[in-house]
Amino acid sequence: MRGLRVALPGGTLFDSACGLLDAAGIARLDPGRFDRELSISHGDDVFVKVRPTDVPVYVEMGGCDCGIVGKDVLWESSRECYELADLGFGRCRLVLAAPRDSALASGVWPQSLRVATKYPVSARRFFAARSLNVVVIRLHGSVELAPLTGLADCVLDITATGRTLAANNLVEIAEAGTSTARLIANHAALKTRNDQVGAIAVALRRMAAARTTVGAA
């Protein structure tokens, strides 16, 4: 039987994902090597670097047996994968933010609201419980510009430190969720390669838990 195929998310989680795989004794991958190669073999296993939003696609369709991806990507994805473990790193929050001088910032919810976001599915779910007339405007980047230019009244976006929001004169109104990196697995791979997928899940969980404990101490 072939080894595992593992999808890794390019972008902000990438170095930490490689670091955790190394620390957990699964694979020592030089992140820099992925600049030249998209796929790296380690023993029988193959690691591929793909866009974060593509990780659930590779895993659901069986292109990869498992993958590492942020929970924020899973919120938006309709792909059916098993979510096996919270890996603890890549912590960030999905927040609703509005210009500092807006009515919304002073706690007044208007009857209608234009929300710019890279997270339209999460936005719909977040506002579903509130009786507001919400127009969701899907953007692909730099959503902070939307209120500045009058495109939208507020943004629903990911923030780790709050610095980008503050720099664009935005204040947090409400939190929609907290995201961390997750280990996900293909349905059939979890059954037909249970030993292999189980081993990687156990090793990553143990290392993630150890790091959380150290971090808390």
Output 31 or 63, the one with its CB closest to another protein: 63
60 lines the binding site for another protein (CB under 8 A): yes
Minimum Å gap between C-beta 159 and another protein is: 21
Beta-ladder partners of 61: none
Please give the single-letter amino acid code of residue 25: G
Minimum Å gap between C-beta 186 and another protein is: 5
24 lines the binding site for another protein (CB under 8 A): no
Minimum Å gap between C-beta 190 and another protein is: 6
Residue 108: CA count within 13 A, CB half-sphere: 8
Among 40, 179, 193, 200, binds another protein (CB under 8 A): 193
The DSSP code for 105 is: G
Rounded CA-CA distance 69/90 in Å is 9
Structure tokens at 116: 């710019």
Per DSSP bridges, beta strands 112-117 and 154-159 are parallel
191 lines the binding site for another protein (CB under 8 A): yes
How far is the first Cα of the chain from the last one, in angstroms, to the nearest whole number?
A: 42
175 lines the binding site for another protein (CB under 8 A): no
> Mask 79-108, x = binds another protein (CB under 8 A)?
-xxxxxxx----------------------
Rounded CA-CA distance 170/120 in Å is 19
The residues binding another protein (CB under 8 A) are: 1, 57, 60-63, 78, 80-86, 182, 186-194, 198, 201
